[in-house]
Amino acid sequence: MIDVLDTIERWRGEGQRVAVATVVGVENSAPRDPGAVLAVSERGAVAGSVSGGCVESAVYEEAQDAIATGRPRLVSYGISDADAISVGLTCGGTIHVFVERLDW
């Protein structure tokens, strides 16, 4: 969170609404540990990362919806070991991400 806080404060200072997605749990292998954050502004700007891969776009969409609706949500993304190996990854894993609009 620390690495994106300045950006979030700048967006909020500009009057933009912001959503934050935070990795809250990991099962097996994952590119980012719990505590990793992705922030999204209502204008579509992004700071941080929760996966460094294909999950980012899905989390971005969840964040945009959270900005629009104010509804927080817990979302999970994962791949089995067998599927991971078939696409060139060494193992599968799951991340759990909490997405919320900042209302401060």
Find, among 83, 35, 27, 77, the residue nearest to 53 by Cα.
Answer: 77
Provide the token pair at 13.
């200072």
Neighbours of 74 (CB within 10 A): 12
The per-residue pLDDT for range 88-101, each reduced to its tens digit, is: 555 568 899 999 99
Instruction: Look at strands 73-79 and 46-48 and give their pairing.
Output: unpaired
The pTM for the full model equals: 0.87
Long-range own/partner contacts, residues 3-6 (CB < 8 A, 24 or more apart): 3/37, 3/47, 3/48, 4/37, 4/38, 4/39, 4/47, 4/48
The per-residue pLDDT for range 25-37, each reduced to its tens digit, is: 998 878 889 999 9
